[in-house]
A and B are shown apart, each in its own frame.
Chain A
Amino acid sequence: MRCDTRWYLQRFELTCRCCFDTDILLSVDVGFLLMGIMNGKSMGMNFFIKVGDAVLNLLENVGAFSIFSYQTIRWIFKRPFDGKMLLQQMNEIGVKSVPVGVVSAFFVGMVMTLQIGGSMEKYMTGISSFLGGGISLSMVRELAPVLTSILLAGRVGSSMAAEVGTMKVTEQIDALITLATNPIHYLSVPRFLASIITIPMIVAMAVLVGSAGGALISNLVFEVPLLLYMDSARQMVRVSDLISGISKSYFFAAEISLVSVFTGFRASGGAKGVGSATISAVVLSFMMIIVSDYFVTFIYKLFGY
């Protein structure tokens, strides 16, 4: 009988991962694992310590992030208000992101039209006259807010995390504190405000430009007159759709800025730390956007939006 807990731990992980087909194997493994723990074998213990650590770490991060978000919102109302910094950030986050947001939305609108129009025409001739509504509705409700936010999370989130992370590892944030300046007030507040002001604007542009891209392809490929496209869009897209789509982007904008600055603040250990903070910022922003998109949409649907 093998009493090497490390070996059993590996077996245990392997069986879990490979969607085990014999429960007996698993129970035997768990049995040996527990035996190892009871004997005080370090590897078995380590497994539970690692899981416990990971859970605690996760809870600690969630807690810290909540406090950080609360602090950011609290510090918005405190003096001195740094208008120059806010404008700078609006330029960085908003103005400089317009090209990437607009060009992407235009092409997404075009490719969607090609795909949908092409597929639908096969089954029902003339259905492309509804393309305007279909494309505009999907742009307004989902594509523009989610896609633009994801693009901006990559562009803006990474730069925020890298900038703040570099400041953290080079003691510039400590210097801010000693200069009687709250780093959340100085770094997080302007980025947060700039994001929630500018990102929804870019989303609104993306809606328009995406629909325009759709109109172009409908006209050129499916020969839908522009007026028909617009009429269909006008009939199908309601104000509530617009509110739902644009208001979602406020959540996404807040998530991008808060997550990115937060991960920057928690960077440690030189260039490598800044690198991992940047990766975390982008990956977490992506995930939060996609997950919160579902929940926000779900809540809107409950209220009939």
Chain B
Amino acid sequence: MEIKIKIENLSKKFGTFEVLKSVSLDIYKGEILYVVGKSGSGKSVLLKNITGLLQPDQGKIFIDSVNILEKSEDELIAIRKKMGVLFQMAALFDSMNVFENVAFTLRRFSNFSKNQIKDIVKQKLEMVGMGGMELLFPASLSMGMQKRVGLARAIALEPEIILCDEPTTAVDPLSGAAVDDLIMRLNQELGVTVIIISHDMESAFRTAHRVSMLYQGNFLFTGSVEELKQCEDPVIQQFINGRAEGPIPII
């Protein structure tokens, strides 16, 4: 299988705290990969490194065989157009309404006419179940709704890679399932590569092709959902079954 994103020996420290300890991971084209782990295990840091929001201390990140860490800010713009990112708190532009948020990249980077942009935005919003809410402002939406708009914004330019930071957290179970379905549909229909950062195991079991577990700055496990369920490692068993007792310290 073709490798879409390759992470090699990535390390990131904050002060003296080593969040990522030389981690390596291959993400294949067209797969849905869940990166799971308890809060504070470095999942979001990993995602921010892939998107270039954080610079790692060491290591390499290849997207389509291009090392993004060697690229200038200007060159990164072209690479970022291939990516859509859904933030944990949606990070919608609060000075813009839903329509303007979703149309943001379309207006800036595409040659579509006003009417075409209108149609695309309408279609993307309908995909995430937010049709007809174009004129609302983010402040008047619930977190679940904001996340769905955030997803519509992330997919507006039809990216090759979608990165989601906890898409189902703080979302009601129905919206969560709808987001999962949408991600699966995008993956099946358009062959989009998806990386999801999450600790929602139910959602991972439902959607993931592969799951990687981050634990104490390293990948403890990477494999299919079936392999994960059968893995006898006590740390993994404790995590996927959500037990308070076990080897993982709960602070």
Given A170-B89, A171-B89, A172-B93, CB of A182 within 8 Å of CB of B77: yes
Contact partner of B80 (CB less than 8 A), chosen from A166, A170, A178, is: A178
Q: When the two chains form their complex, are residues B89 and A178 in contact, meaning their CB atoms are under 8 A apart?
A: no
Given A179-B153, A182-B73, CB of A174 within 8 Å of CB of B81: no
- Chain B contact surface mostly: mixed
Using a CB-CB cutoff of 8 Å, which residues 92-145 of chain B contact chain A?
92-95, 104-105, 108-109
Q: When the two chains form their complex, are residues B109 and A180 in contact, meaning their CB atoms are under 8 A apart?
A: yes
Q: When the two chains form their complex, are residues A177 and B51 in contact, meaning their CB atoms are under 8 A apart?
A: yes
Contact partner of A174 (CB less than 8 A), chosen from B53, B78, B92, B109, is: B53
- A175 beta carbon closer than 8 Å to chain B: yes
- B205 beta carbon closer than 8 Å to chain A: no
- A181 beta carbon closer than 8 Å to chain B: yes
- B66 beta carbon closer than 8 Å to chain A: no
- B91 beta carbon closer than 8 Å to chain A: yes
- B68 beta carbon closer than 8 Å to chain A: no
A126 to chain B, nearest CB (A): 58
Q: When the two chains form their complex, are residues B52 and A180 in contact, meaning their CB atoms are under 8 A apart?
A: no
B148 to chain A, nearest CB (A): 15
Residue from A163, A166, A175 having most chain B Cβ neighbours under 10 A: A175
- A83 beta carbon closer than 8 Å to chain B: no
Given A80-B108, A182-B73, CB of A177 within 8 Å of CB of B91: no
Residue from A174, A178, A182 having most chain B Cβ neighbours under 10 A: A178
Contact partner of B52 (CB less than 8 A), chosen from A171, A177, A181, is: A177
> Beyond the given A167-B93, A171-B91, A181-B105, could you list 12 further A-B residue pairs with CB under 8 A, ordered by the A residue number?
A172-B92, A174-B48, A174-B87, A175-B87, A177-B80, A178-B53, A178-B83, A178-B85, A179-B80, A180-B77, A180-B108, A181-B104
Q: Give bound CA distance, A172 to B153, whole Å.
A: 13
Using a CB-CB cutoff of 8 Å, which residues 140-185 of chain A contact chain B?
163, 166-167, 170-172, 174-175, 177-182
10 pairs of residues in contact across A and B, judged by CB atoms under 8 Å = A80-B108, A167-B93, A172-B94, A177-B51, A177-B52, A177-B80, A178-B51, A179-B80, A180-B80, A182-B77
A186 closest partner in B (C-beta)? B108
Q: When the two chains form their complex, are residues B51 and A180 in contact, meaning their CB atoms are under 8 A apart?
A: no
Q: Give bound CA distance, A171 to B94, whole Å.
A: 11
For the complex of A and B, the 4 pairs showing the least CB-CB separation, nearest first, are A178-B85, A175-B91, A171-B91, A180-B80
Per-position contact with B for A179-205: 1 when CB-CB < 8 Å, else 0?
111100000000000000000000000
A82 to chain B, nearest CB (A): 8
Per-position contact with A for B198-221: 1 when CB-CB < 8 Å, else 0?
000000000000000000000000
